[in-house]
């Protein structure tokens, strides 16, 4: 899998911001097929940091209804990246 397709976007929620300040970790939405080793290499390559730990979770899609049809949103994978001491990622916002 190509490194450019592994990381989709950073997740900036209240929980992720607080987690980043407390434990130097960052949350990303990643490709469902990516494993922890691929995610670690992609983050180290793009942001030029040292990764200490990678935790992943697959979030199941929710049931949604549009008028009379039932549907479902897509499943997606979330990765929580903990960086080594002294490393930070600046997203610019």
State pLDDT tens for residues 38-64. 999 999 999 999 999 999 999 999 999
For residue 26, what pLDDT is reported? Answer: 95
Q: State the Cα–Cα distance between residues 63 and 29, nearest whole angstrom.
A: 20
The mean predicted confidence, pLDDT, of the chain is 94
For residue 1, what pLDDT is reported? Answer: 81
Fold for domain 3-83? Answer: Alpha-Beta Plaits (3.30.70)
In order of 9, 26, 35, 40, 52, the CA distances from 15 in angstroms are: 16, 10, 23, 21, 20
* Mean pLDDT, residues 17-44: 94
For residue 93, what pLDDT is reported? Answer: 66
């Amino acid at each position: 899998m190509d490194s450019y397709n592994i990381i989709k976007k950073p997740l900036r929620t209240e929980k992720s911001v607080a987690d980043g300040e407390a434990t130097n970790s960052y949350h990303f939405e990643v490709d469902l097929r990516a494993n922890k080793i691929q995610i670690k290499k992609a983050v180290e390559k793009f942001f030029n940091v040292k990764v200490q730990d990678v935790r992943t979770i697959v979030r199941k899609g929710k049931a949604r209804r549009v008028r009379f049809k039932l549907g479902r949103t897509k499943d997606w994978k979330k990765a929580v990246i903990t960086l080594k001491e002294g490393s930070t990622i600046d997203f610019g916002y």
